[in-house]
Amino acid sequence: MYKPVISCFIACLLTLYSLSSKSESQLPSIGGSGYSVLSLQKEYQLGRAWVRMLRGSARIYEDAFVSQYIEDLTWSLVTHSQLTDRRLEILVLDNPSVNAFAVPGGVIGVHTGLLLTAKNEAQLASVLAHELAHLSQRHFAAQLEEQQRNRPFHLATILGSILLAAADPEAGIVGLQSSMAASAANKLAFSRQNEREADYIGMQTLTSSGYPPIAMANMFTELQKQARFSRVPPEFLLTHPVTQSRISDALNRAESIQGKTPRLNSIEFNLVKARIQANYSKDLPQLLKKYQETQKLGDNDSIRYAIAITAIKAKSYALAAQNINSFSPAFRSSLPGRLLQAELELAKEKYKKAVTQLEKLVRLYPGSHAVSYLYADALLRNNQPRQASRVYRQLIEHNPNDSRAWYLLAESYGLEGNIVGVHEARIEYFLLTANIDKALRQLDFALREKTLTSSEKARLEQRKEDALQIRESLKLDY
């Protein structure tokens, strides 16, 4: 149903953030905040409509430890950025291609492949800081205004390309390349200025956050390497082309910035990377062998964690326990160390023990959705769906747009026999993933329930009206 919308919406973020080949001597001007074509509120509404389609077409990475790390890292940068409208939605996509993107209205997407490519946290942070600069400088609105003056023919295509690429990398790349080929030469200078401005302001954010500015140039170099040795260039380069002159600009700018700090990594970056590598590995014994060879050269908590998480995936529980028991006392008592211990108990089907461990962590870290997701999973496995439903509801209170929590809440409601709850949770899941027809059908099913109270019926009738309004918003008529 939404394919026509997506196809006609395919050229809007490339032109936004794209196509640089030359550098200019002067620093870029700072983008203005007032645009007649697109208000801040309209930009926000556009982003929220688009992100519904993204959730419905792309796989969200389901490791809450990874997503919480990306959220925490992004917010640590936001506080040092020029972003004034901080109504953000941050998503980690289960996609091994190298990409990150910012969509007007505060939507930031990170592909898991980007975390595997970055050599350290500072490099990853440099990409996020660059995307935040695109948002703070409102490059989408600026490009829209520029294109309206020049009577363009394809503004809407780029957001659709990014949406398509998130769900199907090869098809998305074709769409992005087509959009690039369609861009007229007189658009290049404007796009190049956007990229340079995002580099400049992004580097300021990066440095203010305590990371060395050289990390941005180093990340550009890593992306160039990926392009040289890969049949298909990294998706990020199609929307953010990296040239040697751009790398030189970043190097020169980094040298001129005072107060550089050595902050490159947190241990969480290493842990997150190890989790993703274990999840994607097609040969876990070989990955374990590689880690064990590295361990011989220098043992530390990061490598022990990498071995343990990989061993859990490979069902080598004795090896996992051996490395967990070898953690330093400080790391063993830390949140990542204790979560991994609970993950091992879950893998061994020691559900009651895992629940006991996680109950303690919930009290110690009440705001951690990494803990909450694992705790709810343990409760379900331990045949405690009512308690799991409570945990999922708490996750939703913290983030009402968490489509995964709504999906799992429907499952736990089903196990506890809460039929109305199942209907309502499924409705919310379908609305958050742009499946409006399914949401309306679910509403009809729910309204036929004979046990509905008057308040439940009124709530469902209101949600039906909301669903129709959401359908209108998905037309992306801006």
Domain ranges of the chain: 3-256
Q: Measured in whole angstroms, how far is the alpha carbon of residue 232 from the centre of its chain?
A: 22
| Residues forming a β-bridge with 107 | 89, 103
Q: What is the pLDDT of residue 24?
A: 34
Spatial distance between the Cα atoms of 84 and 106, rounded to a whole number of angstroms: 10
| Helix extents (H) in 11-156 | 14-17, 40-57, 64-78, 112-117, 121-136, 139-149
Whether residue 141 is predicted with pLDDT greater than 70 in this model: the reply is: no
pLDDT at 14: 35
Q: Which residue in 19, 445, 70 sits closest to 240, CA to CA?
A: 19
Do residues 175 and 164 make contact, with C-beta atoms less than 8 angstroms apart? Answer: yes
Q: Are 5 and 53 a contacting pair, CB within 8 Å?
A: yes
194 band by pLDDT with thresholds 50, 70 and 90: confident
Burial letters 129-150, b for 16+ CB under 10 A, else e: bbbbbbbbbbbbbbbbbbbeee
Lowest mean pLDDT among 44-48, 168-172, 329-333, 385-389: 168-172
In DSSP terms, 111 is beta-bridged to: 93
Least Cα distance to 187 among 139, 134, 249, 132 occurs for 139
Using pLDDT thresholds of 50, 70 and 90, give the confidence band for residue 149. Answer: low
Predicted confidence band at 406 (pLDDT cuts at 50, 70, 90)? very high
Range 164-173 average pLDDT: 53
pLDDT at 160 over 80: no
State the residue for tokens 């064990």. 292
Read off the tokens for 135.
């948002």
What pLDDT score was predicted for residue 456?
92
Residue 156: pLDDT over 70: no
Which strands make up the sheet holding 100-103, listed edge to edge?
89-93, 107-111, 100-103
Percent of the chain at pLDDT above 70? 75
Which token pair is 367? 């705001």
| pLDDT value at 97 more than 70 | yes
Average confidence (pLDDT) over 106-113: 92
Q: Is 458 exposed, middle or buried (0-12, 13-18, 19+ CB in 10 A)?
A: exposed
Predicted confidence at residue 431, as pLDDT, reads: 95
**Cα(309)–Cα(303) distance, integer angstroms:** 10
Distance from chain centroid for Cα 309: 22
Q: Which one, of 318, 319, 312, 315, lies nearest residue 340 by Cα? A: 312
Q: Give me 56's structure tokens.
A: 């419905």
What pLDDT score was predicted for residue 228? 64
For the chain, the straight-line distance linking the first and the last C-alpha, in angstroms and rounded, comes to 20
CA separation for the pair 55, 70 (Å, rounded): 17
Neighbours of 284 (CB within 10 A): 16
Check residue 229 and give its pLDDT: 56
Q: Residue 420 pLDDT more than 50?
A: yes
- Average of pLDDT values for 72-79? 95
Give the model confidence (pLDDT) of 271-287 as tens digits: 999 999 999 999 999 99
pLDDT at residue number 284: 97
Q: What is the dihedral of CA 251, 253, 257, 260, to 10 degrees?
A: -30
Which amino acid, residue 42? K
Q: How far apart are CA 57 and CA 99, in angstroms?
A: 16
Give residue 50's pLDDT band: very low, low, confident or very high (50, 70, 90).
Answer: confident
Instruction: Select from 64, 45, 56, 53 the least CA-distant residue to 399.
Output: 64
Residue 100 in tokens: 């990150």
Maximum mean pLDDT: which of 97-111, 162-176, 202-216, 285-299: 285-299
Angle between helices 188-208 and 121-136 (to 10 degrees): 120
Place of tokens 């925490």: 72
Predicted confidence band of residue 233 (pLDDT cuts 50, 70, 90)? low
Residue 241 banded pLDDT, cuts 50, 70, 90: low
> Across residues 294-308, what is the average pLDDT?
96
| Closest to 407 measured CA to CA, from 101, 56, 48, 3 | 56
pLDDT of residue 84: 85
Q: What is the mean pLDDT of residues 126-135?
A: 91
Lowest mean pLDDT among 137-141, 354-358, 454-458: 137-141
pLDDT above 90 for 319: yes
What pLDDT sits at residue 82? 86
pLDDT reported for residue 181: 39
Poorest-confidence range of 76-80, 224-228, 242-246?
242-246
Distance (Å, rounded) from C-alpha 73 to C-alpha 356? 29
